[in-house]
Structure 1
Amino acid sequence: MSTTDPDIAIIETSSLGDRSYLISKDGVAVVIDPQRDTDRVQALAAEKNATITRVLETHIHNDYVTGGLELARSTGAQYVVPDGDPVDYERRAVVDGDVIDAGRMSFQVMHTPGHTHHHVSYVLRHGGEPIAIFTGGSMLYGSTGRTDLLGAEHTDELTHAQFHSVRRIAAELPSGAEVYPTHGFGSFCSATPTSGDSSTIGEQQQSNPALTQNEQSYVDELIAGLSAYPAYYAHMGVINTEGPAPIDLSMPEPVDPDELRRRIDAGEWVVDLRARTAFAAGHVDGTLSFELSTTFVTYLGWLYQWGAPLTLIGDNSDQIAQATRELARIGIDSPSGSIVGEIDSLVGDGELRSYRVSDFAELAATTSQSDVVVLDTRQESEYADGHIPGVLNIPLHELPHRLADVPAGQVWVHCASGYRSSIAASLLDRADRTVVLVDDDYDHAVELGLEGPRG
């Protein structure tokens, strides 16, 4: 792009693997696919001395609650949503070929079905020339958006549509046009893993499976590679179609140790946000470990019983505030309580529990022991790609309902990095099982020769 082209600012939401965009020129700004916590977007617009006049959605999102409706209302911007989705609010419904003008910028609508039926991409034109495209869940970096979120009965049709959508993008835009997807940075909305942080049409012509394979090969490979996705996705489309309520980032009400104990004993969700090794060293009996890190909200949202009371334990108030923001992004609003401080001071009339933390090197020396059970909590596709012989594979999202399938004995729990296994370890510990957390990268298991032959 030349120095006179619009400024394109990326707003990362790494915890969900998504990006939003603020495009500005001469004091006018357009926002595409904003997350629910729009204070970040408005702060960025103010930093650039730009007024938001348009808010564009590429599709009704399945992996987060949109901030588009509230951002448009609070700024007076026009809210643009693809035609065809039966939304419950006023918006400008756009179809293929429509043009959204914003000062000296324009965005041409391109219908790109596949991720959803009505999905669109937006071609940014400046000086009449197409210089970039915002592809939502269509063309991703070295991949495409998954096509099974609307139900199995639509998957084949949408996968074929996705192929043609990506081909159309590549055919109609110059090779130097920049590609800006919403998904594909860890989001489960990506059909397969993506690669890179930036790209152009020309680069995608060399790497994107929809552009390097024939149609049937692409369709077969994409459908065969689809894996499980977070359970909370079932709620996102409904919320976004009805119109999300304004976000509430107020701090949850503080509770004392006695009330914390009452909630645990009542079977409520009590989540400890501290580091997973700190949880292992000492935690309140009956709590669950969801370390506040990059994948926190994805896995909590996946396992969470939707609508259940949720109390947060943290080292400090900043940790509680960040967790509250992350949860609001997927529609888990207003946690019912929080408590902070040294863990010894929070136990009340309960007790502290603990379990060992280890690594694959120590696991290698214990697998021959008759009372050792090794539990692999990775997805079935990861397990199929390579695993330790004799292990039990129960993907994390299945474990709450399959605890009885874990044989008696000392349970060593691993995943790919230690994060999912730390959640699994806390579930087993809460069930009064003897557990050892393998807090290690699976690559080390391969290096140690623990993995069996592949294929």
Structure 2
Amino acid sequence: MAGVELVPLVDEGLGNSAYLVDLGDGRALVVDVSRDLRAVHEAASKRGLTVAFAADTHLHADFLSGAHQLAATAGAKVLASAAGHREFEHAGLHDGEEVDLGGLRVRALLTPGHTHEHVAYLLLDGDREVGVFTGGSLIVGSAARTDLISVERTDELTRAQYASLRRLAGLPGDVQVWPTHGAGSFCSAPPGAERTSTIASELANNPLLQECDETAFVANLLGSLGNYPPYFRRLGEINRLGPPLLESEPGLAPLSVDEVRLSLTDGAVLIDGRPFDRFAVAHVSRAISIPLRPVFASWLGWLAPADRPLIIVRDPDQDPAEIAWQAAKIGYDNIIGELDGGMAAWTAAGRDTASIPLAGAGHIDGRRVLDIRQRSEYLDGHLPGAMHVELGDIAHREAEIPDEPLVVMCGHGERAMGAASLLAGAGHHDLVVLDGGPRDWAAATGRHLDTGG
């Protein structure tokens, strides 16, 4: 082929990239696609392509793979590591095995580390090594985390990651690097706009490739890792078994006010996807605030239970399909519907509401400050004396947080409202949320932020 047309399909919310490759004969290869296949179908349809191959670099922890669905609905051939022992029909590849795609080929390169069965796929056009789908091994400026399998295996897998990166670094410098995980991924990636690279660029700029001592590499990689959502611990096995097939597109069934009340009494949980300032004014008591935005899926998987029915509250202008798909791609098939008519219907029925006020950056009024950002954000600059508990830890550390006048803050307000809603649901009183972040406070008060722990 004269050239290879590759289309990155970026999921900004998960911080991941999937890829579609035009095979030049009306067929396509896709790599590391999620269960939300809308972007895949749109890209393939636009180019008049049929998806013939669906490759996964590893048993994903942050989303359900769409390969199983593509095999069932489009007849795609699934390519995956033989070491993954998937329990659905697929071509299980061993190290060095190649698959003829019809003019192009892929060669499986066993690259354990991110997971024990991880493979990279080297794309070949004749004898020319065009690029490599590196999944969660070599990523732009770093390598993906190695602590998802178990605590006991983390050191072993981190040392395997060291060897895998060096194997990939031995490819020619002009080989393109096409990772799955990028900035914004909880699978570990540094901030930055670039999601693809080259071997030469990574050799020149990736600190982990410049670390020649294995022990120092282990310390550097593990030292860079933050927390990750609890659903990461479940999805790998679901992907191994084969994610449940979707018979139709997910949606939100309408539930009346009385049906919602009865479901809540029976243990359902209400997820309020409206903007946080609207939640602040009025919401159903004990609802969890998770505003609909690109990162909705990650925070749903972090804050909402996977084993209880979920009910959605949204504004009329918010897309119900987007909510349903974001939930489906992380395996949250426990959404039983939405409050028909939203908060307007709830208040019209005379049902009680709760509120959590917003506080301006210069009007904290002596309240204790709870900063719920990630640790790296907190260390970068926080209000003096602020208590720090990450949002993902609020549910199981709630008892450590004093029930006293409290201002909850993050970088803008969305995550802080999520934390405040959890605290309110647990019985905390007199909560307000900072409308803004630490730098807004510094600008409003003329005071300096603290750094460090």
Q: Shared topology, TM-score over 0.5?
A: yes
In structure 2, relative to structure 1, the CA distance for the partners of 1:58 and 1:225 (3 Å cut) is same
Separation of aligned partners in 2, 1:95 and 1:51: 26
Partner residue, 1:184:
182
Partner residue, 1:401:
396
Separation of aligned partners in 1, 2:78 and 2:167: 26
Counting aligned pairs with the same residue, the percent is 34
Partner residue, 2:282:
282
Cα deviation, 1:1-20, whole Å, max 9, x if unaligned, reads xx931210111222211111
Indicate conservation of the 8 Å contact 1:264/1:286, yes or no.
no
Q: How far does residue 216 in structure 1 lie from its aligned partner after superposition?
A: 2.4
Q: Which segment is superposed worse, 310-319 or 228-237?
A: 310-319
Q: How far does residue 361 in structure 1 lie from its aligned partner after superposition?
A: 2.9
Indicate conservation of the 8 Å contact 2:112/2:119, yes or no.
yes
Q: How far does residue 453 in structure 1 lie from its aligned partner after superposition?
A: 4.8
Partner residue, 2:356:
355
Indicate conservation of the 8 Å contact 2:145/2:188, yes or no.
yes
Separation of aligned partners in 2, 1:323 and 1:415: 23
Q: Which of 426, 437, 442 is matched with 1:441 structurally?
A: 437
Partner residue, 2:199:
201
Partner residue, 2:386:
391
Indicate conservation of the 8 Å contact 1:28/1:103, yes or no.
no
Partner residue, 1:233:
232
Q: How far does residue 434 in structure 1 lie from its aligned partner after superposition?
A: 1.4
Separation of aligned partners in 2, 1:140 and 1:453: 29
Cα deviation, 1:330-350, whole Å, max 9, x if unaligned, reads 101151121243623323342
Cα deviation, 1:86-142, whole Å, max 9, x if unaligned, reads 221121111111111112111111111110112111111113201111100011110
Cα deviation, 1:14-64, whole Å, max 9, x if unaligned, reads 221111111003222111111102243133212212222211110111111
Separation of aligned partners in 1, 2:402 and 2:428: 13
Separation of aligned partners in 2, 1:118 and 1:387: 40
2:421 corresponds to 1:420: no
Indicate conservation of the 8 Å contact 1:135/1:181, yes or no.
yes
Counterpart amino acid of 1:298?
A: S
Separation of aligned partners in 2, 1:92 and 1:278: 49
| Secondary structure, aligned partner of 1:398 | helix
Indicate conservation of the 8 Å contact 2:255/2:340, yes or no.
no
Indicate conservation of the 8 Å contact 1:192/1:222, yes or no.
no
Counterpart amino acid of 2:299?
A: Y
Separation of aligned partners in 1, 2:53 and 2:106: 10
Q: How far does residue 444 in structure 1 lie from its aligned partner after superposition?
A: 3.1
In structure 2, relative to structure 1, the CA distance for the partners of 1:450 and 1:281 (3 Å cut) is farther
In structure 2, relative to structure 1, the CA distance for the partners of 1:263 and 1:373 (3 Å cut) is farther
Q: How far does residue 260 in structure 1 lie from its aligned partner after superposition?
A: 2.1
2:412 corresponds to 1:411: no
In structure 2, relative to structure 1, the CA distance for the partners of 1:385 and 1:453 (3 Å cut) is closer
Separation of aligned partners in 2, 1:237 and 1:454: 35
Separation of aligned partners in 2, 1:262 and 1:11: 41
Partner residue, 2:27:
28
Partner residue, 1:210:
208
Separation of aligned partners in 2, 1:75 and 1:267: 38
Q: TM-score, normalised by structure 2?
A: 0.93
Partner residue, 1:304:
304
In structure 2, relative to structure 1, the CA distance for the partners of 1:122 and 1:443 (3 Å cut) is farther
In structure 2, relative to structure 1, the CA distance for the partners of 1:342 and 1:96 (3 Å cut) is closer
Aligned length: 446
Partner residue, 2:332:
332
Alignment of structure 1 residues 20-59 onto 2, 5 Å: 20-26=18-24, 27-59=26-58
Q: How far does residue 302 in structure 1 lie from its aligned partner after superposition?
A: 1.0
In structure 2, relative to structure 1, the CA distance for the partners of 1:361 and 1:218 (3 Å cut) is farther
Indicate conservation of the 8 Å contact 1:191/1:225, yes or no.
no
Counterpart amino acid of 2:200?
A: G
